[in-house]
Amino acid sequence: MKDIDILKLTAVELSAKICSGEISNDKVTQTCLNHIKEVEPKIKAYQLVLENGALAQPKVSGEKCSSLAGVPIAIKDNIMIKNHPVTACSKMLENYIAPYNATVIEKLKNAGTLLIGKTNMDELAMGSSTETSAFMRTNNPWDLSLIPGGSSGGSAAAVAAFTVPLALGTDTGGSIRQPAAFCGVVGFKPSYGLVSRFGAVALASSLDQIGTFSRTVKDTAVLFDIIAGADYKDPMCEPLENPSFSQGLDEANFKGLKVGVFKDVDYIKLDPEIKKAYKENIQKIKDSGAEIVELEIPSYQYIPAIYKIIMCAEASANLAKFDGIRYGYRAKNVRNLTEIFEKSRGEALGREVKERILFGTFVLSAKNYHNYFDKAQRARTVLINETKEAFKKCNVLFTPTTTQMPTRSGAELSEYCDVFSTASNLTGASGISVPAGLLGGVPVGMHFSAPRLKDADALKAAAAFEKISGWDSSKLPSALG
Amino acid sequence: MTGEELKKLGILAKIEIKDAEVESYLKKLNSEIAIANAISELDTNGINPTTHVSELRNVWRDDIVKPASKETFDEMMKVAPETEGTFYKVEKILEA
């Protein structure tokens, strides 16, 4: 089998061939590592490639084979793999070595996957372009001058560039689904509480969720089956035994499904090309047998404000742990304890991170708490209530993933760019972005959201959409062609 | 937000803000405040705040201190910037 044909296999196909002995485990790993060497100078998706770490994973074949045995997977660099660096792409953690495995890593190791590397990201997951990484920029595999999105831009680009069929990311307001849309891959944020976050560097704890990247919905579901489930180490983790989200996806279709779609609203300024693609896809879904239900959720217009306040407030509290004392960067030439704190944080944290901590401190301060933090938490309840009402009328909500296309590096995205994905973090719902074609040579993503803990519905709708979208998931991105 | 308020925030957040940075921080934070102000028009009378979306309740256990293994202890100390014996070492905390 040619190397490119191995790289183009889905995770499920690849594992079947490894288990049957058709391809060796080592051949797969070596093929991936070679491909990473070839494309990495252009893409810069990896913060660290675990050449020895990957090859040292247990060999799996024959009877012991699990559904993803031998499959290479890339891990966002804010998830801990024991004895390897976990930097979250911050100077604060530049020399920090993970003393234990994240729960998801334990589960991936038990399933026999190959952990092939740590991927680039916005510093401490704060950003939407992977440009705030303290170490390097990642380029979009479809056009190297464009951002890959973020914060999990490295994981999205790694899958889009066919270096791995699977990757993990984290998503606080769209950090998996927005880069997935920009890079032309499937990105899934499960419902809040379905995947343990133990061992992931926290950003905003009421919103954070670990999720997945892949090129097909089936691969996403199979990976989700492995990483989902109860974990006493994450108190927000739902008791869920033996999940099987990958069941029934092959037969998924839109017949009889009620699909909620958004009415045109002024405050969400959709890129005209995205709007056109959205309308066309609504028609395709309708033609496939779904009942289209037009909806409006008025509080969506407040999502950027609600998100900014809650995310920054929680981040400012979570990041207080970076004090330069127990681990991480410590400033030199300090005179007292207060200077250790102020200079270590001042020197090692990037500008975006410091702005968010300061803004979070602002909204939590006694003078502003009532008008901002408390108000945002109440506004969040309004959004949750309106969303619950909307889901009484439909099974899934269908929207574009983003309101705009990826920008050139250095340009700012609108605060409404991620409004559809952020809605699922604020309400705890699942959300999945699926490639829906190219606009001007660059991928565009469409997004399905299902009520919290009804992740199977979102996955089934995404699988049904994949069959009618016309997207070829085995096509190499143009910048690599 | 004024420069003085910003400096106070820096002290609360334990982040050093240099004089040369004040203007650019203010520009950014004031634009963030403008975005956040949008929620003031939303009627939230009689609405309870949401702190998290889970309906799980806390699980309690007896508060008993268990000793950590030597290995765990060593792992934790190994990643600290400065240690002495079994302690983290910091600059003086009281001025003479």
User: Each residue of A219-278: pLDDT tens digit?
Assistant: 999 999 999 999 989 989 998 777 789 999 999 999 999 999 999 888 888 999 999 999
What pLDDT does residue B10 have? 98
Chain B residue closest in CA terms to A333? B91
The per-residue pLDDT for range A342-365, each reduced to its tens digit, is: 999 999 999 999 999 999 999 999
User: H-type helices in A113-216, by residue range?
Assistant: 153-160, 177-183
Q: Which residues contact B59 (CB under 8 A, 6 or more apart)?
A: A232, A235
Per-residue confidence band for A414, with pLDDT thresholds at 50, 70 and 90:
very high
SS3 A264: coil
Which of B11, B53, B6, B40 is CA-nearest to residue A238?
Answer: B53
Q: Is the pLDDT of residue B95 over 80?
A: no
| C-alpha–C-alpha distance, residues A110 and A267, integer Å | 47
SS3 A186: strand
CATH class assigned to A3-252: alpha beta
Put simply, whether A316 touches B (Cβ < 8 Å) is: yes
Sign of the torsion angle spanned by Cα atoms A185, A314, A231, A48: positive
| C-alpha–C-alpha distance, residues A414 and A277, integer Å | 20
The per-residue pLDDT for range A69-104, each reduced to its tens digit, is: 999 999 999 999 999 999 999 999 999 999 999 999
- Residue A175 bears catalytic tag: yes
What's the Cα-to-Cα distance from B42 to each of A231, A301, A357, B39, B47, rounded to whole Å? Answer: 38, 10, 25, 5, 11
What pLDDT does residue A10 have? 98
Chain-chain contact of A99 with B47 (C-beta, under 8 angstroms): no
Helix, strand counts (H, E) of chain A: 15, 11
| C-alpha–C-alpha distance, residues A226 and A408, integer Å | 36
Q: Which residues contact A49 (CB under 8 A, 6 or more apart)?
A: A33, A36, A40, A116, A117
**Residue ranges per structural domain of chain A:** 3-252
Q: Is the pLDDT of residue A303 over 90?
A: yes
Chain-chain contact of A384 with B53 (C-beta, under 8 angstroms): yes
Chain-chain contact of A309 with B93 (C-beta, under 8 angstroms): no
The per-residue pLDDT for range A467-481, each reduced to its tens digit, is: 999 999 999 998 887
pTM of the entire predicted model: 0.97
Place of tokens 């009618």: A468
Which of A240, A260, A268 is CA-nearest to residue A386?
Answer: A260
Which of A297, A295, A313, A296 is CA-nearest to residue A305?
Answer: A313
Percent of chain B with pLDDT over 90: 75
Residues paired with residue A74 on neighbouring β-strands, in sequence order: A117, A167
Chosen from A337, A362, A426 to mutate, greatest number of chain B CBs within 10 A: A362
The per-residue pLDDT for range A115-168, each reduced to its tens digit, is: 999 999 999 999 999 999 999 999 999 999 999 999 999 999 999 999 999 999
Per-residue confidence band for A183, with pLDDT thresholds at 50, 70 and 90:
very high
What pLDDT does residue B96 have? 67
Q: Is the pLDDT of residue A411 over 90?
A: yes
What pLDDT does residue A239 have? 84
Q: Which residues contact A410 (CB under 8 A, 6 or more apart)?
A: A131
Q: Is the pLDDT of residue A325 over 90?
A: yes
Task: Name the region of A333 (left: φ>0; alpha: ψ -120 to 50; beta: rest).
Answer: left
The per-residue pLDDT for range A15-71, each reduced to its tens digit, is: 999 999 999 988 999 999 999 999 999 999 999 999 877 766 666 666 678 889 999
| C-alpha–C-alpha distance, residues A193 and A233, integer Å | 12
